[in-house]
Amino acid sequence: MRQVVLDTETTGIDPKQGHRIIEIGCVEMIGRKLTNRHFHVYINPDREVEEEAFQVHGISNEFLADKPRFHEVAQEFFDFIKGAELIIHNAPFDIGFMDHEFARIGGYPKTAEVCSVFDSLVYARKKHPGQKNNLDVLCRRYGIDNSHRELHGALLDSEILADVYLLMTGGQTSLGLSNGSDSDSKEDGSEEVIRRLSADRPRLKVIRPNEQELKMHEERLDLIDKKSGQSLWRKPEQPLN
Protein backbone atom coordinates (compact mmCIF):
# COMPACT_ATOMS: atom_id res chain seq x y z
CA MET A 1 0.00 0.00 0.00
CA ARG A 2 1.20 3.50 -0.85
CA GLN A 3 0.60 5.99 1.95
CA VAL A 4 1.31 9.71 2.11
CA VAL A 5 1.63 11.42 5.48
CA LEU A 6 0.45 14.99 4.98
CA ASP A 7 0.31 18.29 6.83
CA THR A 8 -0.46 21.88 5.88
CA GLU A 9 0.03 25.32 7.39
CA THR A 10 -2.45 28.11 6.66
CA THR A 11 -3.14 31.82 7.05
CA GLY A 12 -5.98 31.08 9.51
CA ILE A 13 -8.44 28.43 10.55
CA ASP A 14 -11.35 28.69 8.10
CA PRO A 15 -11.15 28.57 4.28
CA LYS A 16 -14.74 29.86 4.11
CA GLN A 17 -13.41 33.14 5.51
CA GLY A 18 -10.88 33.38 2.70
CA HIS A 19 -7.96 31.74 4.46
CA ARG A 20 -5.43 29.92 2.31
CA ILE A 21 -2.76 27.22 2.45
CA ILE A 22 0.79 28.57 2.76
CA GLU A 23 2.78 25.35 3.24
CA ILE A 24 2.32 21.71 2.25
CA GLY A 25 4.53 18.89 3.51
CA CYS A 26 4.17 15.22 2.54
CA VAL A 27 6.29 12.10 3.04
CA GLU A 28 5.70 8.83 1.23
CA MET A 29 5.54 5.35 2.76
CA ILE A 30 5.21 2.04 0.95
CA GLY A 31 4.65 -1.12 2.96
CA ARG A 32 4.89 0.94 6.19
CA LYS A 33 8.40 2.08 5.31
CA LEU A 34 9.53 5.60 4.41
CA THR A 35 10.77 5.81 0.83
CA ASN A 36 12.65 9.14 1.19
CA ARG A 37 10.29 10.65 -1.41
CA HIS A 38 8.57 13.81 -0.26
CA PHE A 39 6.68 16.83 -1.51
CA HIS A 40 7.26 20.19 0.14
CA VAL A 41 6.35 23.69 -0.96
CA TYR A 42 5.65 27.15 0.44
CA ILE A 43 2.81 29.06 -1.23
CA ASN A 44 2.04 32.76 -1.63
CA PRO A 45 -1.59 33.07 -0.45
CA ASP A 46 -2.19 36.59 -1.83
CA ARG A 47 -3.46 37.66 1.59
CA GLU A 48 -2.11 38.41 5.04
CA VAL A 49 -1.20 35.70 7.53
CA GLU A 50 -3.19 36.19 10.74
CA GLU A 51 -1.10 36.93 13.83
CA GLU A 52 -2.52 33.90 15.68
CA ALA A 53 -1.47 31.62 12.84
CA PHE A 54 1.97 33.24 12.65
CA GLN A 55 2.50 32.50 16.34
CA VAL A 56 1.90 28.80 15.58
CA HIS A 57 4.06 28.30 12.48
CA GLY A 58 6.27 31.42 12.26
CA ILE A 59 5.78 31.84 8.50
CA SER A 60 5.69 35.54 7.69
CA ASN A 61 4.09 37.51 4.88
CA GLU A 62 7.53 38.74 3.83
CA PHE A 63 8.85 35.16 3.54
CA LEU A 64 5.92 34.15 1.33
CA ALA A 65 6.08 37.16 -1.00
CA ASP A 66 8.21 35.47 -3.69
CA LYS A 67 6.74 31.97 -3.36
CA PRO A 68 4.58 30.34 -6.08
CA ARG A 69 0.77 30.51 -6.06
CA PHE A 70 -1.25 27.36 -5.46
CA HIS A 71 -2.25 27.02 -9.13
CA GLU A 72 1.45 26.81 -10.03
CA VAL A 73 2.06 23.76 -7.80
CA ALA A 74 -1.41 22.17 -7.86
CA GLN A 75 -0.75 19.55 -10.55
CA GLU A 76 2.52 18.34 -8.98
CA PHE A 77 0.82 18.14 -5.58
CA PHE A 78 -2.20 16.33 -7.01
CA ASP A 79 0.02 13.81 -8.82
CA PHE A 80 1.94 13.11 -5.59
CA ILE A 81 -1.14 12.30 -3.51
CA LYS A 82 -3.38 10.70 -6.17
CA GLY A 83 -4.29 7.09 -5.37
CA ALA A 84 -2.59 7.07 -1.95
CA GLU A 85 -3.99 6.64 1.53
CA LEU A 86 -3.49 10.02 3.19
CA ILE A 87 -2.50 9.97 6.85
CA ILE A 88 -3.46 13.28 8.43
CA HIS A 89 -3.82 14.44 12.04
CA ASN A 90 -7.25 16.12 12.20
CA ALA A 91 -7.97 15.36 8.56
CA PRO A 92 -11.10 17.54 8.09
CA PHE A 93 -9.00 20.67 8.61
CA ASP A 94 -6.38 19.88 5.95
CA ILE A 95 -8.79 18.21 3.51
CA GLY A 96 -11.13 21.20 3.81
CA PHE A 97 -8.35 23.58 2.83
CA MET A 98 -7.10 21.30 0.03
CA ASP A 99 -10.57 20.95 -1.51
CA HIS A 100 -11.07 24.71 -1.23
CA GLU A 101 -7.78 25.40 -3.04
CA PHE A 102 -8.47 22.86 -5.81
CA ALA A 103 -12.01 24.24 -6.25
CA ARG A 104 -10.69 27.80 -6.64
CA ILE A 105 -8.72 26.89 -9.76
CA GLY A 106 -11.20 24.28 -11.05
CA GLY A 107 -10.64 21.06 -12.94
CA TYR A 108 -9.80 18.88 -9.94
CA PRO A 109 -11.96 16.33 -8.07
CA LYS A 110 -12.45 16.37 -4.33
CA THR A 111 -9.64 14.72 -2.41
CA ALA A 112 -11.84 11.86 -1.16
CA GLU A 113 -12.58 10.89 -4.77
CA VAL A 114 -8.94 10.07 -5.52
CA CYS A 115 -7.52 9.23 -2.07
CA SER A 116 -8.57 7.32 1.02
CA VAL A 117 -7.99 9.14 4.31
CA PHE A 118 -6.78 7.88 7.69
CA ASP A 119 -7.37 10.44 10.45
CA SER A 120 -4.70 9.73 13.06
CA LEU A 121 -6.42 12.04 15.58
CA VAL A 122 -9.66 10.00 15.42
CA TYR A 123 -7.63 6.79 15.79
CA ALA A 124 -5.65 8.21 18.74
CA ARG A 125 -8.86 9.25 20.53
CA LYS A 126 -10.23 5.71 20.19
CA LYS A 127 -6.94 4.19 21.36
CA HIS A 128 -6.44 6.67 24.23
CA PRO A 129 -9.93 7.84 25.25
CA GLY A 130 -10.22 10.74 27.65
CA GLN A 131 -6.63 11.87 27.08
CA LYS A 132 -4.99 14.65 25.09
CA ASN A 133 -3.94 13.42 21.66
CA ASN A 134 -2.20 16.29 19.94
CA LEU A 135 1.06 15.56 18.15
CA ASP A 136 3.32 16.74 20.99
CA VAL A 137 1.49 14.55 23.52
CA LEU A 138 1.64 11.53 21.21
CA CYS A 139 5.38 12.05 20.76
CA ARG A 140 5.87 11.92 24.52
CA ARG A 141 3.55 8.92 24.82
CA TYR A 142 5.44 6.92 22.21
CA GLY A 143 8.94 8.11 23.08
CA ILE A 144 9.55 10.11 19.90
CA ASP A 145 12.11 12.93 20.15
CA ASN A 146 10.54 16.12 18.82
CA SER A 147 12.80 18.52 20.72
CA HIS A 148 13.71 20.17 17.40
CA ARG A 149 10.03 21.13 16.88
CA GLU A 150 9.85 24.66 18.32
CA LEU A 151 7.25 25.79 15.77
CA HIS A 152 4.83 23.88 13.59
CA GLY A 153 6.08 23.16 10.08
CA ALA A 154 4.27 21.05 7.50
CA LEU A 155 7.18 18.86 6.40
CA LEU A 156 8.61 18.41 9.90
CA ASP A 157 5.17 17.61 11.31
CA SER A 158 4.47 15.06 8.57
CA GLU A 159 7.80 13.35 9.31
CA ILE A 160 6.99 13.24 13.04
CA LEU A 161 3.44 12.03 12.33
CA ALA A 162 4.85 9.18 10.23
CA ASP A 163 6.79 7.97 13.30
CA VAL A 164 3.73 8.37 15.53
CA TYR A 165 1.50 6.52 13.07
CA LEU A 166 3.85 3.54 12.75
CA LEU A 167 4.17 3.13 16.51
CA MET A 168 0.52 3.82 17.26
CA THR A 169 -0.78 1.35 14.68
CA GLY A 170 1.57 -1.53 15.31
CA GLY A 171 4.96 -0.44 16.52
CA GLN A 172 7.98 -2.48 15.49
CA THR A 173 5.98 -5.22 13.86
CA SER A 174 9.12 -6.91 12.51
CA LEU A 175 10.12 -7.75 16.10
CA GLY A 176 6.96 -9.71 16.84
CA LEU A 177 7.22 -13.04 18.66
CA SER A 178 7.52 -16.14 16.54
CA ASN A 179 4.98 -18.93 16.85
CA GLY A 180 7.79 -21.44 17.20
CA SER A 181 8.27 -22.20 13.53
CA ASP A 182 11.12 -21.00 11.35
CA SER A 183 9.00 -18.39 9.61
CA ASP A 184 6.77 -15.53 10.59
CA SER A 185 4.00 -13.75 8.71
CA LYS A 186 4.48 -10.29 7.27
CA GLU A 187 1.62 -7.81 7.21
CA ASP A 188 0.87 -8.64 3.56
CA GLY A 189 0.40 -12.32 4.45
CA SER A 190 3.67 -13.56 2.95
CA GLU A 191 6.13 -15.61 4.94
CA GLU A 192 9.45 -14.24 6.14
CA VAL A 193 12.14 -16.77 7.01
CA ILE A 194 13.87 -16.24 10.35
CA ARG A 195 17.61 -16.76 10.01
CA ARG A 196 19.00 -18.60 13.04
CA LEU A 197 22.54 -17.77 14.18
CA SER A 198 24.97 -20.52 15.06
CA ALA A 199 25.34 -21.13 18.80
CA ASP A 200 29.15 -21.47 18.46
CA ARG A 201 29.61 -18.18 16.61
CA PRO A 202 32.37 -15.83 17.93
CA ARG A 203 31.34 -13.58 20.79
CA LEU A 204 30.43 -10.05 19.82
CA LYS A 205 33.03 -7.43 20.58
CA VAL A 206 31.86 -4.99 23.27
CA ILE A 207 32.96 -1.41 22.63
CA ARG A 208 32.73 0.64 25.81
CA PRO A 209 32.28 4.43 25.81
CA ASN A 210 35.24 6.68 26.56
CA GLU A 211 35.11 9.61 29.00
CA GLN A 212 34.14 12.13 26.31
CA GLU A 213 31.28 9.93 25.12
CA LEU A 214 30.04 9.43 28.68
CA LYS A 215 30.12 13.19 29.21
CA MET A 216 28.11 13.76 26.01
CA HIS A 217 25.62 11.10 27.15
CA GLU A 218 25.11 12.84 30.49
CA GLU A 219 24.65 16.19 28.73
CA ARG A 220 21.98 14.64 26.52
CA LEU A 221 20.19 13.24 29.59
CA ASP A 222 20.36 16.69 31.20
CA LEU A 223 18.59 18.10 28.13
CA ILE A 224 15.93 15.36 28.24
CA ASP A 225 15.41 16.01 31.97
CA LYS A 226 14.95 19.70 31.27
CA LYS A 227 12.30 19.09 28.61
CA SER A 228 10.42 16.10 30.03
CA GLY A 229 11.00 16.18 33.79
CA GLN A 230 13.05 13.01 34.08
CA SER A 231 14.49 10.68 31.46
CA LEU A 232 13.76 6.97 31.57
CA TRP A 233 17.50 6.28 31.84
CA ARG A 234 17.69 8.09 35.19
CA LYS A 235 14.56 6.68 36.78
CA PRO A 236 15.27 4.31 39.68
CA GLU A 237 14.85 0.66 38.83
CA GLN A 238 11.52 -0.82 39.87
CA PRO A 239 11.56 -4.14 41.75
CA LEU A 240 10.27 -7.09 39.75
CA ASN A 241 6.96 -8.51 40.91
User: Where in the sequence numbering do the catalytic residues fall?
Assistant: 152
* Distance between CA atoms of residues 144 and 42, nearest Å: 26
207 alpha carbon, distance to own chain's centre: 34
Q: Is the CB of residue 56 less than 8 Å from the CB of residue 152?
A: yes
The answer for residues whose C-beta is within 8 angstroms of residue 219's C-beta and 6 or more apart is none
* Distance between CA atoms of residues 217 and 212, nearest Å: 9
Task: Report which residue type is found at 19.
Answer: H
Rounded to the nearest 10 degrees, what angle do helices 120-127 and 154-168 cross at?
A: 40
* Distance between CA atoms of residues 121 and 134, nearest Å: 7
Task: Report which residue type is found at 134.
Answer: N
